[in-house]
A and B are shown apart, each in its own frame.
Chain A
Amino acid sequence: MNAPLSPTLARQTRPNRWLVPTLVLVVAALTTASIAIGYAAFDVPAAFGDWLAGRATLPALVLWELRIPRALLGALVGCSLGLTGAVMQGYLRNPLADPGILGISSAAALGAVAVFYGGLAGSLSLALPLGGIAGAAGAALAINLLAARGTGTLGLILAGVGLSSLAGALTALVLNLAPNPYAALEIVFWLMGSLADRSMDHVWLCLPLMALGWVMMLSTGRALDALSLGEDTAASLGFDLVSVRLRIVTGAALAVGSGVAVSGAIGFVGLVVPHLVRPLVGARPSASLLPSGLAGAALVLGADILVRLLPTRPELKLGVVTALVGAPFLIGLLFHHRGRG
């Protein structure tokens, strides 16, 4: 099978060329659908017309204050989770790595929960996400300091596991100390993750942080490819592994931290999406980054549409649905891998 090289190349690049535009279209369609689908009958074009004309009609308000933020946040959070999942799996060379592996999600949740407990959430609408972002920033700082010696990824994973357990324990402590059962229940519900009742303020808060995080993580694509042959080979190919780690940890903290801060914890998306994308783009880590981000956005938007279409009231928490769908998928994946093993 001495196949000439050119057909091989064509076969590898052809799906790539169409995949990203297709995913962009899917995300755009789902964003539109997310705006159109809600609990009240809603004339989207009319509302859009009112909003553009600057008329403060009820449909225009619903569109701008409720529907658009929810749809945009779904896309932003999903993209952050998918991209970070793909970066983490590539960087740690571990198909079971997820955006939470460095403890950033747990620390962001802890930050938000601490704000809840402190009672600040009532006084300032953005106090909760700001607390989450502060938690994520603290986590990124701690991880970078703990991993500062050496370039090994094992140390990074251990630091992440440690940080994750610590944040989890402190979150449990806050719940334990909650002044009344309703406060505890509110915290638990928030932790389950949801995009309901968010405003454009949330979008403006997380959009710049996420965009910066995405750029930092996307800039490591080639280093991730080189790292698939190990750290020594990657270093010999001219990659500065300390800078790579710094960009990945900081980028993940910005993207996932601000995501958790606005939406709570939405699990399994970051873990599952790269596995969905890989059969389409091949195993090269850099090839799966952008498609994973887009597929993550599509998945979260789809799940968020699903919770609104399901007859359950109050609506199921988004994080619960993604976990319910994601966990069986992961188990299936495990069997699939073992079958090929």
Chain B
Amino acid sequence: MRLAVEQAVFCVGTRTILDAVTLGVGAGEFVGLVGPNGAGKTTLLRLLAGLIAPSAGRVTLDGRPLGSVSRDERARRVAAFFQGAGIGWPMRVREIVALGRLPHHRAFAAEDAVDRAAIARAMDLTDTTHLADRTEPTLASGERMRVLLARALAVESEMLLADEPITALDPAHQLDAMALLRRVSRDGAGVIAVLHDLTLAARYCDRLVVLSEGRIVADAQPTAALDDSLLHAVFGVSAQRGTHADGGAYILPWARSQRTLGETRP
């Protein structure tokens, strides 16, 4: 399983959102897509999900153009998590998670044992089993996010694309969600997540792809990708680096790089 874009360009009118982007992600990899607002991260994710077609270049699934893969096959193999649209109706949590099984049986077939097992697994992984009977409007934003993540996991696809999966979560659930995405990749799926938290991205991802103004400016191991000059040039920040007692290295964005440390410290 390999999902790739080759020399992809995406334009809206005269604006170029993505410019000659080349990226490939395989099974078992956890790739973080980072970059400042407006860099084209979500557009790249939608391109990879097959929701939009590139203006030039191509998107491939195992070497085949994504456009030639049937919708059903693509939906079964590539799951995508978007949360911008929210949940339109006060459906029960379990019903929402069950939507992830739609690509596996299109016609009027009912849920079977495989579906029920996948739904239960996804809810267990995201710690949403106890919410099964709750309806949408009663969920806290972090709960809603985990429910939507469970929906994406219920597809049990070979590739998971996630648009800002940890943005509305509290620190404990952020750590849980990142650990979960890493576990999904260790279980064999490819995971591509748009992330804003550089510290968590660097800590959990195998690889970071840095987008700036529609171009990929770095694609490497987290510490190699987020070097000081890139942080300054792309994000306009300087970072504190260190090693935790457990041996893990961390990067902590600390100040706007144009200014001196003293001025922005509270």
Chain A interface (Cβ within 8 Å of chain B)?
A: 1-3, 5, 8, 12, 90, 93, 222, 225-233, 235-240, 282-285, 340
Interface presence of B46 (CB below 8 A): yes
Within the assembled complex, what's the spacing in Å between the Cα atoms of A240 and B148?
21
Interface presence of B49 (CB below 8 A): yes
Contact code string B59-88 (vs A, CB < 8 Å = 1, else 0): 000000000000110111011111011111
> CB-CB < 8 A to B103: which residues of A?
237-238
Interface presence of B133 (CB below 8 A): yes
> CB-CB < 8 A to A284: which residues of B?
89, 91, 95
Write the chain B residue with the least CB distance to A95: B89
B85 near A230: Cβ-Cβ < 8 Å? yes
Known contacts A229-B96, A235-B51, A240-B71, A5 near B88 by CB under 8 Å: no
Interface presence of B38 (CB below 8 A): no
Write the chain A residue with the least CB distance to B155: A237
> CB-CB < 8 A to A228: which residues of B?
87-89, 91, 96, 99
B51 near A1: Cβ-Cβ < 8 Å? no
> CB-CB < 8 A to B137: which residues of A?
340
Known contacts A230-B82, A236-B75, A282 near B92 by CB under 8 Å: yes
Partner of A236, one of B78, B88, B119: B78
Is the interface on chain B under 10, 10 to 19, 20 to 34, or 35 or more residues?
A: 35 or more
A3, A5, A226, A233, most chain B CB atoms within 10 A: A233
Contact code string B107-151 (vs A, CB < 8 Å = 1, else 0): 000000000100110000000011011011100000000001001
B71 near A227: Cβ-Cβ < 8 Å? no
Interface presence of B15 (CB below 8 A): no
Within the assembled complex, what's the spacing in Å between the Cα atoms of A174 and B79?
53
Within the assembled complex, what's the spacing in Å between the Cα atoms of A58 and B239?
94
A236 near B82: Cβ-Cβ < 8 Å? yes
Within the assembled complex, what's the spacing in Å between the Cα atoms of A222 and B136?
19
Interface presence of B242 (CB below 8 A): no
> CB-CB < 8 A to B116: which residues of A?
5
A225 near B129: Cβ-Cβ < 8 Å? no
A222 near B102: Cβ-Cβ < 8 Å? yes
A237 near B99: Cβ-Cβ < 8 Å? yes
Within the assembled complex, what's the spacing in Å between the Cα atoms of A284 and B116?
18
Write the chain B residue with the least CB distance to A94: B88
In the assembled complex, the CB of B128 is this many whole angstroms from the nearest CB of chain A, namely 11
Known contacts A229-B96, A238-B103, A93 near B88 by CB under 8 Å: yes
> CB-CB < 8 A to A238: which residues of B?
71-72, 74-76, 102-103, 106
Within the assembled complex, what's the spacing in Å between the Cα atoms of A233 and B97?
12
> CB-CB < 8 A to B120: which residues of A?
5
Within the assembled complex, what's the spacing in Å between the Cα atoms of A90 and B78?
25
> CB-CB < 8 A to B86: which residues of A?
229-230
Starting from the known contacts A1-B130, A282-B92, 12 additional A-B residue pairs (CB-CB under 8 Å) come to: A5-B119, A8-B94, A222-B106, A229-B85, A229-B99, A230-B84, A232-B80, A232-B84, A232-B85, A235-B49, A236-B78, A283-B135
Partner of A283, one of B84, B91, B106, B129: B91
Partner of B46, one of A3, A90, A232: A232
Interface presence of B90 (CB below 8 A): yes
**Could you list 28 examples of A-B contacts with CB < 8 Å?**
A1-B133, A2-B130, A5-B116, A5-B120, A8-B94, A226-B102, A228-B96, A229-B85, A229-B86, A229-B87, A230-B82, A230-B85, A230-B88, A232-B49, A232-B80, A233-B99, A236-B75, A236-B78, A237-B75, A237-B99, A237-B103, A238-B71, A238-B102, A239-B71, A282-B92, A283-B136, A284-B89, A284-B95
In the assembled complex, the CB of A317 is this many whole angstroms from the nearest CB of chain B, namely 34
Within the assembled complex, what's the spacing in Å between the Cα atoms of A323 and B50?
45
Contact code string B138-180 (vs A, CB < 8 Å = 1, else 0): 0000000000100100010000010000000000000000000
In the assembled complex, the CB of B119 is this many whole angstroms from the nearest CB of chain A, namely 8
> CB-CB < 8 A to B95: which residues of A?
12, 282-284
In the assembled complex, the CB of A86 is this many whole angstroms from the nearest CB of chain B, namely 12
> CB-CB < 8 A to B74: which residues of A?
238
